[in-house]
């Protein structure tokens, strides 16, 4: 395991889970986060409360602040900071470009300046867009993204490729497939649906329920990131991190009803044009190269999530 790791977005959902795992493994961890209000800043502070890590309260849009944080002898950067969400990006594309593209450029420049040799970049299954029927392979062409968010992730991947080629930074691009688990962002389906069912509120249900998603437990994503930090072979690689399975939206709601013991009230809404009809990860490359093996089946992961959501204070 790498000795010193800086995590951008380290107070967020995935970042905080990763930070806790690395700290428990004896890794020196730095967290760079601006605690924005896309969702509760207090929740993010709670995520890292008591964690033995060096905190840099800074925005990746500020190149000098990122350079200052990077100049502390880190062996690697895990770049997870981003404006998230497909649908919000439609309303505010410029903000997504500024944060996700220019911010990624700032992180890569800071890594170059500081002589950091390894960057792990958190990308998204949304890059596959209109690629066709899954399972999606990393070698699949990306003919048409469907949202500004997805476009910013494609741009980030390309910047990583460029900095690997020009400046010798080993860049590992990890395409995450719909991550869930304790602390999940409240705008995502599993979190939104669970809380609505528990609180007897209607579920905002877009489309006819036939869209399918590859839901991946955060513990499996963290294991994949940890393996990428140990990767030392080629200078640039792209890996899918998913569960390798998918479930329809309708089946997801039914499963949550079974776990909670409560019936959902469905608020029928039109399908969203920016939403992909299906996400489904081909895991062959990640399994063969990283030794990645997702361990949490969806039903078990949902049971744990419902238990957490029932008792969560935020």
Instruction: Report yes or no: 157 and 127 within 8 Å, Cβ to Cβ.
Output: yes
Q: Are 29 and 22 in contact (CB under 8 A)?
A: yes
SS3 63: helix
Residue 15 CA to residue 9 CA, distance in Å, equals 6
Which helix (H) or strand (E) segment is 270 a member of? none
236 is catalytic: no
Residue of 76, 87, 104, 121 whose CA lies nearest to 230: 76
Closest CA to 48 of 68, 34, 31: 31
Q: How many CA atoms lie within 13 A of 312 on its CB side?
A: 21
Half-sphere exposure of 198 (CA within 13 A, CB side): 16
| Residues in Cβ contact with 110 at an 8 Å cutoff, skipping those fewer than 6 apart | 63, 66, 67, 69, 70, 71, 77, 116
The number of CA neighbours under 13 Å toward the Cβ of 176 is 26
Report strand pairing: 179-180 vs 216-217.
parallel
Local structure of residue 120 (DSSP, 8 states): E
- Integer Cα distance of 280 and 246 in angstroms: 6
Helix (H, G, I), strand (E, B) or coil at 250: helix
Smallest CA-to-CA distance from 25 within 259, 190, 230 is with: 230
**DSSP label at residue 217:** E
Sequence-distant (6+) residues with CB within 8 A of 94 are none
Residue of 96, 128, 149, 292 marked catalytic: 149
| Catalytic annotation, residues | 149
């Amino acid at each position: 395991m790498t000795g010193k790791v800086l995590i951008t977005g380290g107070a967020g959902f995935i970042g905080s889970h990763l930070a806790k795992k690395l700290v428990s493994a004896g890794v020196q961890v730095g967290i760079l986060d601006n605690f924005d209000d896309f969702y509760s800043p207090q929740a993010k502070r709670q995520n890292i409360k008591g964690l033995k890590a060096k905190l840099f309260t800074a925005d990746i849009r500020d190149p000098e602040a990122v350079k200052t944080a990077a100049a502390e002898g880190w062996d690697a950067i895990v770049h997870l900071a981003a404006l998230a969400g497909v649908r919000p990006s439609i309303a505010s594309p410029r903000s997504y470009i500024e944060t996700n593209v220019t911010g990624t450029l700032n992180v890569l420049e800071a890594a170059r300046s500081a002589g950091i040799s390894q960057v792990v970049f958190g990308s998204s299954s949304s890059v596959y867009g209109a690629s066709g029927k899954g399972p999606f392979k990393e070698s699949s062409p990306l003919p048409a993204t469907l949202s500004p968010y997805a476009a910013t992730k494609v741009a980030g991947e390309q910047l990583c490729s460029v900095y690997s080629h020009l400046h010798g930074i080993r860049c590992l691009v990890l395409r995450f497939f719909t991550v869930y688990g304790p602390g999940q962002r409240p705008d995502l389906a599993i979190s939104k649906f669970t809380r609505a069912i528990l609180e007897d509120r209607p579920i905002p249900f877009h489309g006819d329920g036939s869209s399918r998603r590859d839901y991946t437990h955060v513990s499996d994503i963290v294991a994949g990131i940890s393996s990428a930090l140990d990767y030392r072979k080629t200078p640039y690689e792209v890996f899918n991190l998913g569960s390798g399975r998918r479930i329809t939206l309708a089946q997801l709601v039914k499963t949550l009803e079974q776990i909670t013991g409560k019936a959902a009230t469905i608020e029928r809404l039109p399908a969203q044009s920016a939403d992909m009809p299906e996400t489904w990860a081909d895991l062959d490359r990640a399994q063969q190269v990283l030794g990645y093996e997702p361990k949490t089946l969806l039903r078990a992961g949902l049971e744990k999530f419902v238990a957490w959501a029932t008792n969560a204070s935020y």
